[in-house]
């Protein structure tokens, strides 16, 4: 074949394939069961609808996003993290501004979206306990959790400032609606009281599950869906939503993404009730979209178990993203300092 | 080498004619050596020296300006100092335990005849092929208060309370020793394997009882392997993350964990790299002190 002819053939071939090939888009979230559910509820149906071929990567935190934005070599498009990371990243210019003329936010819970991110799942740090060892006299508030004389047993908490400072204040008698702005000194002083009784502090959700399954922990402050999942594996674990600390996952588009417009259209799908309802059905997580019950996908039994069910919402507080963006660095430094004491 | 060449010429005396060609050969050989060495040198410069220099530079940058804020933060919060001490202490303990436990194993491995030596060597190596996370969680199960070890201790009725084996430094050290042991055994094994056993026979024939033959002949000659293993274990221990996170149950914070926390907490890399720089310098400090105390300057090649 002559070079020119070969070139022409190659070019026409490329055009032909690109006309039918799905567009590639990268999606980043934490792995495990959570990712499997995200695939089933969001990525597969929406990928089919918008003709997208997903490149899925897992990350527990936004370190890679920081590297990509700082170096200008952005390969991520849509990322999903915890609200604290989205809010902090947004304040530091890691994400593209969202276009709410494309993304419909009318049904989204207030506070679950901002100019730079939009809420995905809603979860809660709840008080959970082993029904065999602590079932006769389970703790019903953080004050009970802190009271080791009336509620004996080994304890575990999350090794993060976010959530634990709130719990510590409620344990110290601060009413839930008065938790913010957080009094750091008071929160740390309260944590200092319980620290000798905390056998283990968990970092990842998987650790919290191992601790209650194999680690001999009787009471734990942990994510509700993680505890549902160990319970469904047969572990004798249950929990209360009393004084649970609600937090949410969030989607954002990485600054400098080459697929910004497509990503925006994808987010417009992600926030729809039909997909979010499917995610809740699969995972027991709540959803940022307040209309998921209208889809008919959620059974009345499940509706009661979701952290966003009206009866449960009443008993919990929402972690305040603005407070954490403004005070997070100092609060985390104080918490790390306290942990090293 | 040129000294040797000229002295060889001097011994020959009459044959001074050879001196110049020999010096030429020596110079060519030296150039060849440098040439052979340069790929390794380039590799080290690109992937070790340059990144460390970059790390050092970043630790002095805040808001795109020169700043020592990342270092003054470490003075302001005593947690940094405590975390550094914990890291160094745990790494030293792990290294010492690896040495005590690993030395006899390496000695035994070098003594065994082929079928057994291969079997035992693979037993040492197999853990390498298992996921670190899986091994760590396995230890969590083994060491927990209602795990098999504590059940056994309870059955023996030695103590009335379960032993606190996990969620503390004890658990962390146990898990780390398990991970690090092969890194100690393998370099030591290769040194012992090439040991000239006739030296021990020579020592005995000169009247040395087994213990002094071991202590005065075998041990000093195995020192390079011991030092190589110890340095490998110590340096790797400094950077451990998963094992202290899981088996320490949050009660043990090592430098790498605080570095990870700072990457997420601050937008500036310097907040993390400054602590990395401090760890690097402290590690060199500990190695230098250890070298001096143990008289290892020769092994490290610090003096001639």
Q: Do A199 and B249 touch (CB under 8 A)?
A: yes
Reading the block at residue A192, the tokens are 């200092």
Q: Do A113 and A137 fall within a single domain? A: no
The DSSP H or E segment spanning A107 is none
Q: Based on the structure, what is the number of domains in chain A? A: 2
Q: Do A211 and A136 fall within a single domain? A: yes
Reading the block at residue A302, the tokens are 């499940």
Q: What is the rounded CA–CA span in Å between residue B208 and residue A268?
A: 84
Cα angle value B297/B298/B303 (rounded, 5°): 70
Q: Is 80 exceeded by the pLDDT of residue A228?
A: yes
Q: Is 90 exceeded by the pLDDT of residue B289?
A: no
For residue B273, the chain A residues in CB contact (below 8 A) are none
| pTM of the predicted model as reported, rounded to 2 decimal places | 0.77
Q: Is 50 exceeded by the pLDDT of residue A102?
A: yes
Q: If we measure between CA atoms, which residue out of A17, A72, A338, A295 comes closest to residue A188? A: A338
Q: What is the pLDDT of residues B142-187, one digit of tens each?
A: 998 878 888 888 888 777 777 888 899 999 999 999 999 999 999 9
Mean pLDDT over each residue of chain B, to the nearest integer: 86
Helices (H) and strands (E) in chain A, counts: 15, 10
Cα angle value A294/A123/A189 (rounded, 5°): 145
Residue of A nearest to B79 (CA): A337
- Residue A260 sits in a domain whose CATH number is 3.40.190.10
State the nearest Cα–Cα gap between B186 and chain A, in angstroms: 32
Look at residue A102 and tell me if it is in a domain: yes
Q: What is the pLDDT of residues A18-66, one digit of tens each?
A: 445 789 999 999 877 789 999 999 999 999 999 999 999 988 788 889 8
The backbone region for A182, taken as left when phi is positive above 0, alpha when psi lies in -120 to 50, beta otherwise, is: beta
Q: What is the pLDDT of residues B202-244, one digit of tens each?
A: 988 898 888 888 888 888 888 888 988 999 999 999 999 989 9
Q: Do A237 and A310 fall within a single domain? A: no
Strand A78-82 relative to strand A219-223: parallel, antiparallel, unpaired?
unpaired
Specify the 3-state DSSP secondary structure of A82: strand
Look at residue A227 and tell me if it is in a domain: yes
Q: Do A127 and A268 fall within a single domain? A: no
Q: Are A230 and A213 in contact (CB under 8 A)?
A: yes
Q: Do B73 and A333 touch (CB under 8 A)?
A: yes
Look at residue A1 and tell me if it is in a domain: no
Q: What is the rounded CA–CA span in Å between residue A35 and residue A44?
A: 12
Q: Do A147 and A240 fall within a single domain? A: yes
Q: Are A92 and B263 in contact (CB under 8 A)?
A: no
Give CA B134 to chain center in angstroms. 23
Q: Do B144 and A214 touch (CB under 8 A)?
A: yes
Q: Do A130 and A255 fall within a single domain? A: no
State the nearest Cα–Cα gap between B71 and chain A, in angstroms: 14
Q: If we measure between CA atoms, which residue out of A141, A149, A199 comes closest to residue A167? A: A141
**pLDDT at residue B117, rounded to an integer:** 86
Q: What is the rounded CA–CA span in Å between residue B35 and residue A180?
A: 66
Q: What is the rounded CA–CA span in Å between residue A139 and residue A305?
A: 19
Specify the 3-state DSSP secondary structure of A306: coil
Q: Do A215 and B261 touch (CB under 8 A)?
A: no
Distances (CA, A) of B110 to A171, A284, B16, B86, B190: 60, 57, 49, 35, 8
A40, with CB counted inside 10 A (0-12, 13-18, 19+), is middle
Q: Do A65 and A187 fall within a single domain? A: no
Annotation: CATH topology of B69-300: MetI-like fold (1.10.3720)
Residue of A nearest to B63 (CA): A92
Q: Structural domain boundaries of chain B?
A: 1-58, 69-300
**pLDDT at residue A175, rounded to an integer:** 95
The full DSSP string for B60-118 is: TEETTEE--HHHHHHHH-THHHHHHHHHHHHHHHHHHHHHHHHHHHHHHHHHS-HHHHH
Q: Is 60 exceeded by the pLDDT of residue A80?
A: yes
For residue A85, the chain B residues in CB contact (below 8 A) are 264
Look at residue A11 and tell me if it is in a domain: no
Inter-chain Cβ pairs, chain A and chain B, closer than 8 A: 79
The full DSSP string for B175-211 is: HHHHHHHHHHHHHHHHHHHT--THHHHHHHHTT--HH
Which residues of B have a CB under 8 Å from any CB of A? Answer: 73, 77-79, 82-83, 86, 137, 140-141, 144-147, 162, 166-167, 245-246, 249-251, 253, 258, 260-261, 263-267, 269
Q: Do A262 and A298 fall within a single domain? A: yes
Neighbouring CB atoms inside 10 A of B234's CB total 23
Task: Kindly provide the b/e burial profile for residues B263-292, where b requires at least 16 CB atoms within 10 angstroms of the residue's own CB.
Answer: bbbbbbbbbbbbbbbbbeebbeebbeebbe
Look at residue A214 and tell me if it is in a domain: yes
Q: Are A45 and A275 in contact (CB under 8 A)?
A: yes
Question: Which residues span the domain enclosing A198?
Answer: 123-247+319-339
**pLDDT at residue B150, rounded to an integer:** 86
Confidence band (pLDDT; 50, 70, 90) for B302? very low
Q: Do A82 and A231 fall within a single domain? A: no
Instruction: Give percent of chain A above pLDDT 70.
Output: 94
Q: Do A156 and B249 touch (CB under 8 A)?
A: yes
Look at residue A118 and tell me if it is in a domain: yes
Instruction: Give percent of chain B above pLDDT 90.
Output: 38
Q: Range with the lowest mean pLDDT among A174-183, B75-84, B192-201, B289-298?
A: B289-298
Distances (CA, A) of A295 to A272, B40, B159: 10, 64, 58
**pLDDT at residue B85, rounded to an integer:** 93
Q: Do A258 and A293 fall within a single domain? A: yes
């Amino acid at each position: 074949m002559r070079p020119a002819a070969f070139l022409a053939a190659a070019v026409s071939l490329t055009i032909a394939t690109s006309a039918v090939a799905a567009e590639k888009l990268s999606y980043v979230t934490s792995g495990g069961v959570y990712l499997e559910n995200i695939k089933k509820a969001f990525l597969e149906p929406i990928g089919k609808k918008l003709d997208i071929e997903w490149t899925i990567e897992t990350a527990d935190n936004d370190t890679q996003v920081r590297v990509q934005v700082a170096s200008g070599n952005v390969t991520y498009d849509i990322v999903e993290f915890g609200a604290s990371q989205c809010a902090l990243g947004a304040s530091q210019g890691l994400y593209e501004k969202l276009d709410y003329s494309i993304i419909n936010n009318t049904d989204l819970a207030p506070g679950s979206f901002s100019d730079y991110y939009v809420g995905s799942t809603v979860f809660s740090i709840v008080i959970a306990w082993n029904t065999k060892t602590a079932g006769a006299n389970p703790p019903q508030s953080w004050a009970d959790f802190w009271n080791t004389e009336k509620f004996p047993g080994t304890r575990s908490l999350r090794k993060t400032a976010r959530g634990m400072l709130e719990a510590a204040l409620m344990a110290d008698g601060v009413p839930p609606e008065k938790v913010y702005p957080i009094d750091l000194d008071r929160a740390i002083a309260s944590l200092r009281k319980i620290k000798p009784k905390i056998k283990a502090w968990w970092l990842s959700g998987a650790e919290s599950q191992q601790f209650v399954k194999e680690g001999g922990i009787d009471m734990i402050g942990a994510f509700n869906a993680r505890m549902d999942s160990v319970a469904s594996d047969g572990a004798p674990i249950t929990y209360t939503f009393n004084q649970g600390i609600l937090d949410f996952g969030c989607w954002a588009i990485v600054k400098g993404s080459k697929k910004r417009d497509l990503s925006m259209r994808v987010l417009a799908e992600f926030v729809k009730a039909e997909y979010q309802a499917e995610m809740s059905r699969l995972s027991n997580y709540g959803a940022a979209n307040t209309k998921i019950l209208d889809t008919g996908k959620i059974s009345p039994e499940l509706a009661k178990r979701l952290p966003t069910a009206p009866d449960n919402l009443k008993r919990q507080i929402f972690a305040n993203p603005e407070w954490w963006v403004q005070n997070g660095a100092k609060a985390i430094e104080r918490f790390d300092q306290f942990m090293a004491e | 080498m040129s000294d040797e060449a000229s002295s060889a010429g001097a011994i020959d005396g009459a044959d001074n004619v050879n001196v110049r060609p020999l010096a030429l050969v020596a110079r060519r050989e030296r150039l060849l050596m440098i040439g052979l060495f340069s790929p390794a040198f380039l590799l080290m410069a690109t992937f070790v020296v340059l990144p460390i220099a970059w790390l050092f530079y970043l630790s002095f940058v805040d808001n795109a300006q020169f700043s020592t804020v990342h270092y003054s933060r470490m003075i302001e919060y005593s947690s940094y100092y405590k975390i550094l001490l914990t890291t160094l202490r745990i790494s030293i303990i792990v290294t010492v335990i690896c040495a005590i436990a690993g030395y006899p194993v390496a000695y035994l491995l070098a003594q065994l005849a082929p079928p057994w030596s291969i079997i035992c060597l693979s037993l040492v190596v197999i853990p390498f092929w298992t996921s670190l996370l899986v091994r760590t969680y396995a230890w969590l199960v083994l060491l927990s208060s209602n795990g098999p070890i504590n059940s056994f201790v309870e059955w023996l009725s030695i103590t009335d309370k379960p032993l606190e084996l996990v969620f503390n430094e004890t658990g962390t050290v146990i898990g780390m020793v398990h991970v690090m042991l092969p890194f100690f055994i393998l370099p030591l094994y290769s040194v012992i394997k090439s040991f000239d056993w006739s030296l021990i026979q020579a020592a005995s024939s000169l009247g040395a009882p087994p213990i002094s033959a071991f202590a005065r002949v075998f041990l000093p000659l195995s020192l390079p392997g011991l030092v190589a293993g110890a340095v490998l274990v110590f340096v790797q221990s400094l950077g451990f993350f998963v094992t202290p996170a899981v088996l320490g149950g949050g009660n043990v914070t090592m430098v790498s964990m605080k570095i990870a926390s700072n990457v997420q907490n601050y937008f500036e890399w310097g907040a993390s790299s400054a602590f990395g720089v401090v760890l690097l310098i402290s590690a060199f400090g500990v190695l230098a002190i250890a070298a001096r105390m143990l008289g290892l300057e020769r092994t490290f090649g610090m003096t001639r």
